[in-house]
Amino acid sequence: MTRLSFFLCLIAGCTQVAVFSMVGCAGAPEDEANAPFTITYSETYLTVRNQLGSAITKGQIELVPSGVLAPFRASLPRIEPGASRDIRFNQFGGTGGARFDRRSTRIKFVRVAATDSLGTTHKRDIRFE
């Protein structure tokens, strides 16, 4: 009897996880199309592409690590509409001046906050996989 209850709970839990996964992924492509900027990354740098109709005049990028570590930050320079900017991972600094090392720190997501030439602030969190 307890074995049957265990399997029923296991099946119900797996079903819930599957449903929540599908609901969570449903809005991703639509958000990407309307995003003010996109972020891609490689082994050594992040690339920020401005998709706004105006220039990004100032901003900040944060690499938010998993766990309790403070985020690593770098300033975002001016980016014209349609242009992109590469920012090397070793330009990100943490508390006390520590530099980001991709081999030793696992990043959960990238947070970008930028102000355009009209004074509007745009914020976006992107998962880092």
Lowest mean pLDDT among 32-36, 42-46, 68-72: 32-36
Residue 98: is its pLDDT beyond 90?
A: no
Confidence of residue 115 (pLDDT cuts 50, 70, 90): very high
Residue predicted with more confidence, 102 or 78: 78
Residue 75: is its pLDDT beyond 70?
A: yes
| Per-residue b or e along 42-78, where b marks 16 or more CB atoms closer than 10 Å to that residue's CB | eeeebebebebeeebeebebbbbbeeeeebbbbebee
Confidence of residue 11 (pLDDT cuts 50, 70, 90): low
Average pLDDT over residues 81-85: 93
Average pLDDT over residues 22-32: 41
116 alpha carbon, distance to own chain's centre? 19
Query: Which percentage of the chain shows pLDDT scores above 90?
Result: 43
Q: Write the CA distances from 117 to 10, 53, 57, integer angstroms.
A: 53, 10, 6
Residue 21: is its pLDDT beyond 50?
A: no
